[in-house]
Amino acid sequence: MTPGKTAVIVTNQVPGHDIGLQQSGHARYLTAFIEHFAGRGLDVVLAVPRPHVDFTSISYNALPFRLRSPRLVSVGERLVLRSARARAAVAAWRCYCRMPRALQSFAASVRLQARRCRGYVHRLGTFLTQEDARFVDAVVAQERPAIVLYDGIFNWVQPTTAAPAWLITHEIKHLRAESFAAQGAAVLPRELTRQRECATFNKARNLIAIQWDDAQKLRALAPAARVVVVPVPADVPSSFRRAPIEGRCLFVGSGSYHNVDAINWFLDEVWARLRGAYPHATLDVVGTVAQRIARIPAGVRVHGNIEHLDAVYREASLAIIPLRIGSGLKVKTVEALAYGLPTLTTSVGAQGLMHLCPPPFIVEDDPARFAARAAYLLRVPSERAVLEHRARSCAQRFTPMAAFAEFRAATSAVEAA
């Protein structure tokens, strides 16, 4: 590959092959950057110190990028997981995916209880070791890229190249940790502090914020850094047409702790109230979060992973996004708006989007008010039509071209390399 015609992304994600995270917002956001660089004529290389993957081996031709990792070895035309332990982890995940949903839920609850016994419920990430950093430096030195992206603070390595380096923040992690703590949920790593995160921001100098509120906070935390906003892109097929089914609600999410907390809160505190006010209400739960639900009340259907989401968005009358934990920008909120779906969310689900005017969603945090507003929206099509119109209008801000406009302008020299 010609020097200067490559983009290196340092990450532990392998989009499309993330163990347990096939529909995670993180992986989908990373995919958008891969597609953006490919569209600019750059060869994309993922430098992956510790891959979290759902394969034991894969053909080179099955990946839309070059994948380099010290934990993968080339065998003929395939990449193979080097360690038996990693292969066993993939086998265990595949076994878990084939279990009946009740067993999946039980296994997930046992895992969560084991974590609680160790003093936490969720791991936000793991900082790279010195060995990991040496691997990243070697890849960058060999590839001689036009640009390097570090996928979050946990994958940050002090650059050793003259190529421009950017840090994708995804969110401000210490604020995310605080949101977990506010719900009584401890997270790892414990060495993640405001001071350490701010130090990384100031070293990185070039920061990518996922939403506009985060950009303001980043500028305050790292005054010398350049900050650009790249919101989550959502590209809906031009042929998409909605055909909502009366009373149908939709929740889409991965099996991450914040999604499990959200759906359990909704089912425990909101669902019975909603069905009491509007008995025709039904709920579809889509994504790996479905594997974590212990009790399925009447009117609720769980679907697990669905490769193409057009159908569930087409038939839903209302998106519910009852998140109570988190920071950054919620992919599920942007995606619902892009599909023109009337949306009822919490203030956490609306983070980074409250500046949109007129608001394309309704925000309620109290469970009784959430239920009452959901029943009202399901009962009154004209109110949903207003939200649908607003959603379609603001969705233009989240097309791939609009989402990457600021970043492309800031990295225009890449094309000239």
Mean pLDDT, residues 35-63: 94
Residues 90 and 27 in one domain: yes
pLDDT category at 236 given cuts 50, 70, 90 is confident
**SS3 (DSSP) at 82:** coil
Question: Is 334 inside a domain boundary?
Answer: yes
Predicted confidence (pLDDT) at residue 211 exceeds the cutoff of 70: yes
- Single out the residue of 264, 300, 297 nearest to residue 282, CA to CA: 300
Contact 124, 116 (CB under 8 A): no
Number of domains in the chain: 2
Beta strands in 246-361 (DSSP E): 248-252, 282-286, 300-304, 318-321, 343-345
Cβ density class 56-89: b for 16+ within 10 Å, e for less: bebeeeebebbbbbbebeeeeebbebeeeebeeb
Residues 227 and 165 in one domain: yes
The residues that bridge with 363 in the sheet, in sequence order, are 345
Question: Is 21 inside a domain boundary?
Answer: yes
The residues that bridge with 123 in the sheet, in sequence order, are 188
- Residue 19 has a pLDDT of 63
Residues 336 and 201 in one domain: no
- In angstroms, the Cα distances linking 271 to 190, 265, 341 are 35, 9, 20
**SS3 (DSSP) at 402:** helix
Residues 176 and 61 in one domain: yes
Residues 70 and 184 in one domain: yes
Query: Helix H segments across 270-326?
Result: 271-277, 310-315
Residues 33 and 170 in one domain: yes
Cβ density class 183-206: b for 16+ within 10 Å, e for less: eebebbbeebeeeebbebbeebbb
pLDDT category at 3 given cuts 50, 70, 90 is low
Residues 6+ apart with CB under 8 A from 348: 179, 323, 324, 325, 326, 330
Q: What is the pLDDT of residues 239-262, one digit of tens each?
A: 889 999 999 999 999 888 999 999
Could you write out the DSSP letters of every residue in 207-233? EEESSHHHHHHHHHH-TTSEEEE-PPP
Question: Is 1 inside a domain boundary?
Answer: no
Residues 22 and 149 in one domain: yes
Mean pLDDT, residues 14-31: 75
Predicted confidence (pLDDT) at residue 365 exceeds the cutoff of 90: yes
Residues 197 and 264 in one domain: no
Predicted confidence (pLDDT) at residue 122 exceeds the cutoff of 60: yes
- Single out the residue of 72, 66, 16, 22 nearest to residue 46, CA to CA: 66
Residues 406 and 393 in one domain: no
Question: Is 389 inside a domain boundary?
Answer: yes
Cα 43 to Cα 182: distance, rounded to the nearest angstrom: 43
Could you write out the DSSP letters of every residue in 47-64? E-SS--BS-SEEEGGG-S
Residue-level length of the chain: 417
Give the domain CATH number at 99: 3.40.50.2000
Question: Is 238 inside a domain boundary?
Answer: no
Q: How far is CA 211 from the centre of its chain?
A: 13
Predicted confidence (pLDDT) at residue 199 exceeds the cutoff of 50: yes
Cα 154 to Cα 157: distance, rounded to the nearest angstrom: 9
Contact 237, 310 (CB under 8 A): yes
Q: Name which residue leads in pLDDT, 363 or 22.
A: 363
- Residue 269 has a pLDDT of 98
Contact 285, 249 (CB under 8 A): no
Residues 264 and 359 in one domain: yes
Contact 201, 222 (CB under 8 A): yes
Residues 257 and 219 in one domain: no
Q: What is the pLDDT of residues 130-157, one digit of tens each?
A: 999 999 999 999 999 999 999 999 999 9
Question: Is 331 inside a domain boundary?
Answer: yes
pLDDT category at 417 given cuts 50, 70, 90 is low
* pTM strictly above 0.75: yes
Beta strands in 254-296 (DSSP E): 282-286
Residue with tokens 């939403």, as numbered in its chain:
211
Residues 303 and 210 in one domain: no
Q: How far is CA 143 from the centre of its chain?
A: 28
Q: Which two tokens stand for residue 320?
A: 């519910």
- Residue 235 has a pLDDT of 81
Q: Name which residue leads in pLDDT, 351 or 25.
A: 351
- In angstroms, the Cα distances linking 217 to 15, 255, 285 are 28, 28, 33
| Mean pLDDT (the chain, rounded) | 92
Residues of the chain with pLDDT > 70, as a percent, come to 97
Contact 273, 372 (CB under 8 A): yes
Cα 211 to Cα 96: distance, rounded to the nearest angstrom: 35
Domain that holds residue 217: 6-232+402-416
Measured distance between the N- and C-terminal CA atoms of the chain, rounded to whole angstroms: 13
Question: Is 73 inside a domain boundary?
Answer: yes
Question: Is 72 inside a domain boundary?
Answer: yes
7 phi, psi to nearest 5 deg: -115, 125
- Residue 248 has a pLDDT of 98
